[in-house]
A and B are shown apart, each in its own frame.
Chain A
Amino acid sequence: NAGVTQTPKFQVLKTGQSMTLQCAQDMNHNSMYWYRQDPGMGLRLIYYSASEGTTDKGEVPNGYNVSRLNKREFSLRLESAAPSQTSVYFCASQGRAPGSYEQYFGPGTRLTVT
């Protein structure tokens, strides 16, 4: 049981390049999330998916797209990277069992855009 996995762990992009961050969970969770973490700002929600086939914008969706490929996988795409997107990106999932409201986080992807 690996929990939430993310690839890659590190990435350096040049301005204008594109890339996709991959996330997968093996806990049969319905909800999945993408956050970015910046110093002094905590975690900010980029997009989330409440269930397979649905996605919704969070606080900071501009410049990103997502795909909920199936129940396990939720990817984040940067179509044209900008230096402002330099950040650490975390994927998380959450179950629907009664009383289970906590999120489970992946190890993160550290992205630098030059």
Chain B
Amino acid sequence: AQSVAQPEDQVNVAEGNPLTVKCTYSVSGNPYLFWYVQYPNRGLQFLLKYITGDNLVKGSYGFEAEFNKSQTSFHLKKPSALVSDSALYFCAVRDVYNFNKFYFGSGTKLNVKP
């Protein structure tokens, strides 16, 4: 079965420190991976994606993610966290057989403290 896992329900980080939100995937073949962010009472917003090419992809709001095929991971990172980054973050993968299906992780709540 294809899936993504987010092993941490919550990540706490101090403002100005680097942050990492973890995601691992399980798919056969080459994965198409995504990160989304959800602010309170809002829909999800696209942050970045990995399709092919460079393992380090850059996205919105200063976020980046590193694709690691050997570790089947796609961790979200930011060099310096802001309080305004506090939100719920979701990793997702596209189905390799049915391009219209996507599987989302359970979400990680990021808390950035001043």
Chain B interface: which size bin?
A: 20 to 34
CB <8 Å contact, B43 and A102: no
Q: Could you tell me which residues of chain A, from 38 to 97, have a CB within 8 Å of some CB in chain B?
A: 40-45, 48, 50, 56, 58, 90, 92, 94
- B46 / chain A contacts, CB cutoff of 8 Å: 102-104
CB <8 Å contact, A103 and B100: no
Given A41-B106, A105-B44, A105-B45, A99 and B51 contact (CB-CB distance below 8 Å) = yes
A2: min CB distance to chain B, Å: 12
CA distance A90 to B45 in the complex (A): 12
What 0/1 pattern do residues 90 to 112 of B give for CB contact below 8 A with A?
10101000001110111100000
- A103 / chain B contacts, CB cutoff of 8 Å: 44, 46, 102
- B45 / chain A contacts, CB cutoff of 8 Å: 105
Q: Give which listed residue, B34, B36, B102, contacts A45 with CB less than 8 A.
A: B102
Q: Does B22 contact A (CB under 8 A)?
A: no
B47: min CB distance to chain A, Å: 9
Q: Give which listed residue, A45, A104, A107, contacts B101 with CB less than 8 A.
A: A45
The A contact surface, by secondary structure, is: strand
CB <8 Å contact, B94 and A101: yes
Q: Could you tell me which residues of chain B, from 38 to 83, have a CB within 8 Å of some CB in chain A?
A: 41-46, 49, 51
The interface size of chain A toward B, counting residues with CB under 8 Å, comes to 26
Given A101-B51, A102-B49, A103-B102, A90 and B43 contact (CB-CB distance below 8 Å) = yes
Q: Does B8 contact A (CB under 8 A)?
A: no
CB <8 Å contact, A43 and B104: yes
What 0/1 pattern do residues 10 to 50 of A give for CB contact below 8 A with B?
00000000000000000000010101000011111100101
- B100 / chain A contacts, CB cutoff of 8 Å: 31, 48, 50, 56, 94
- Which A-B residue pairs are the 9 nearest by beta carbons? A105-B43, A102-B46, A43-B104, A42-B104, A42-B106, A105-B44, A50-B100, A107-B43, A106-B43
